[in-house]
Amino acid sequence: MKLSYRIISAVIGLAVAALSAQAASHSISSLEELMELASQDGNEITMAPGTYKVRDYLTPERIAAVGKNLDYSFDKRPPNPVLTFSGSDNTYHLDGVTIEIDTGLFDEISLIAYHRFFFINGHRNKINGLTIRYNGPQQGCNGTALTVWGDHNTLEDVSLFVHGSQPYGYGDLLGKGHSRITRLEKHSGLMVGGDHTTLRRCRVISRAFGHCFYVQGAHNTLIEDCYAEGINRSTSDMLRDSEGPAAEVDFKSVYENRSGQFKITPGYRKSLTEDGFRTYGSGGPRKQKTGKTTLINCTAINTRAGFEIIGPEDGAEKTTLTNCTSLGAERAFLLINGNIVTRKCRGDIKHGPLLYLWRGANADVELEVAGQGSDYTVHSLATISGENHRVKLTRWEPEGPLPELPIMLGYGMPAHAEMSSPILPEEAKNITLINETQSPIVSSNLAQPPHPDSVDFSDPVK
């Protein structure tokens, strides 16, 4: 009898589990249904392919609710979301789904605090196949299209087509943050703040001034097979504008050029977006120091920095980049504060240097120079400051000679990494430098001689 009772109980348990699993599966075909389920837990959601307009979902009541009851005890710029995914343990199958956002909505919704249009603050969710596309006026929100704020979330095959910022067409020459000489409305792509976030095969195509991917305060972030793309413009072309924000300020810039003028300088090429992949030192929901980030097989095209990476403060952790590529950037790799490892990574010098290795300690950097030279002004192949770094620079499928760009040992990056600004000496000590590029090495008076293990293949005697 006891055995029979156990068998019956097990059968009933399996039946209940099957019914529960069936009840947790939903097929939907509207934003109304999606946002209702996004506040719940434990669902499997499949949305019918198609284009869904956010304007159709945002009723006057929902628009009025944006920006209400923000928690200013958390921060002076707390998250101000429009569409919130607060549920946990959900799986979203969104292949073929495009959510379309009219930037004209920025005139109607609250943009106070830190605007975050899609805000994932639930945990252990998986989102597959979503496309978010902006259209409408060229105006921004000073915020981000999609934010991952919760922990253990995974996004796969998610694409963002970001449009809308002010000004647009001059990169950061007219300023950013508190230092600006004109009205600023940025618009960034995908931000990670939650711990243990995974991004796979995600894309940010930016036609706005803002970052593509960026990480603030998150620990153990994995970014794999992801793609960032901007466009760029020559400074000489900017100076031909007869109207617009640059002409209105007589082509002033917030950056001092090599002639001591705060002016847009001809001869350079500027990205119109910010960085392809960026890590900050701290931030996120816990306001903690950013921990280890792992980037694998990622590509940045025509962004300000392909990869601007601040290493983790804890020397026991290393941020790693493997098989990453930067093409057409103002600087391919800007690596800050050490504790960074790069392997099988490459970048070109078409619009700027391959590397700024800036301050800190214990970076282990191997980079390949791709392509040849440029018709634009580029002042260096690499600059290196800090201590106990190992740097190996090689050619990737060499074709023809490189331009005579120096590797500058004992130099920092120019102010704000702006190429038209002068590159000043900074301390460099105990550096191992392996140079297989044929480029000359120039050392400042603040550079100790390279470590004895260094090899300079630009010197035919060695």
Helix (H) or strand (E) holding 53: strand 50-53
**71 to each of 12, 359, 425, how far by Cα in Å?**
46, 36, 44
Residue range 316-327: mean pLDDT, rounded: 97
Q: Name the token pair of 113.
A: 């605090």
Tell me: pLDDT of 254 over 70. Answer: yes
Tell me how far apart the alpha carbons of residues 156 and 144 are, in angstroms, rounded to a whole number: 19
**390 to each of 131, 251, 302, 326, 341, how far by Cα in Å?**
40, 41, 27, 21, 10
pLDDT band at 393 (very low <50, low <70, confident <90, very high): very high
Q: Name the token pair of 233.
A: 């413009």
- Give the three-class secondary structure for 402: coil
Burial state string for 180-212 with b = 16 or more CB within 10 A and e = fewer than 16: ebbebbbbbbbbbbbbbbbbbbbbbbbbbbbbb
**55 to each of 60, 145, 246, 324, how far by Cα in Å?**
10, 15, 33, 37
Check if the beta carbon of residue 271 is closer than 8 Å to that of residue 304.
yes
- Give the three-class secondary structure for 309: strand
- Choice between 274 and 18, residue whose per-residue pLDDT is larger: 274
Beta strand pairing status for 355-361 and 364-370?
unpaired
Question: Which stretch of 146-155, 352-361, 365-374 has the lowest confidence by average pLDDT?
Answer: 365-374
Q: Which of 305, 296, 309 is nearest to 326 (CA)?
A: 305
pLDDT in tens, 188-213: 999 999 999 999 999 999 999 999 99
pTM recorded for the entire structure: 0.93
Residues whose CB falls within 8 Å of the CB of residue 92, separated by 6 or more in sequence, listed in order? 45, 47, 125, 126, 127, 128, 130
- Give the three-class secondary structure for 56: helix
Residues whose CB falls within 8 Å of the CB of residue 88, separated by 6 or more in sequence, listed in order? 41, 42, 122, 123, 124, 125, 150
Give the model's pLDDT for residue 460: 37
Residues whose CB falls within 8 Å of the CB of residue 339, separated by 6 or more in sequence, listed in order? 311, 312, 313, 314, 315, 317, 318, 319, 360, 361, 362, 363
CA dihedral sign of residues 383, 386, 391, 396: negative
Cα radius of gyration rounded to whole Å, the chain: 25
Residues whose CB falls within 8 Å of the CB of residue 6, separated by 6 or more in sequence, listed in order? none
Residue carrying structure tokens 């921004």: 140
Tell me how far apart the alpha carbons of residues 396 and 367 are, in angstroms, rounded to a whole number: 9
pLDDT in tens, 442-452: 999 999 988 77
Tell me how far apart the alpha carbons of residues 268 and 232 are, in angstroms, rounded to a whole number: 10
Give the model's pLDDT for residue 11: 45
pLDDT in tens, 357-378: 999 999 999 999 998 888 899 9
Bridge partners (DSSP) listed for residue 155: 127, 199
Give the model's pLDDT for residue 21: 46
Task: Tell whether omega for the bond before 167 is within 30 degrees of 0, i.e. cis.
Answer: yes
Tell me how far apart the alpha carbons of residues 419 and 405 are, in angstroms, rounded to a whole number: 14
Q: Name the token pair of 395.
A: 């050619």
Burial state string for 335-349 with b = 16 or more CB within 10 A and e = fewer than 16: bbbbbbbbeebbbbb
Tell me how far apart the alpha carbons of residues 445 and 248 are, in angstroms, rounded to a whole number: 42
Tell me how far apart the alpha carbons of residues 115 and 447 are, in angstroms, rounded to a whole number: 44
Beta strand pairing status for 293-296 and 221-224?
parallel
Tell me how far apart the alpha carbons of residues 183 and 306 are, in angstroms, rounded to a whole number: 26
Give the model's pLDDT for residue 13: 46
Beta strand pairing status for 179-180 and 175-176?
antiparallel
pLDDT in tens, 20-79: 444 499 999 999 999 999 999 999 999 999 999 999 999 999 999 999 999 999 899 999
Q: Name the token pair of 389.
A: 């770094």
Residue range 250-276: mean pLDDT, rounded: 97
Check if the beta carbon of residue 421 is closer than 8 Å to that of residue 414.
yes
Rounded to the nearest 5 degrees, what angle is found at the Cα of 356, between the Cα atoms of 167 and 219? 80
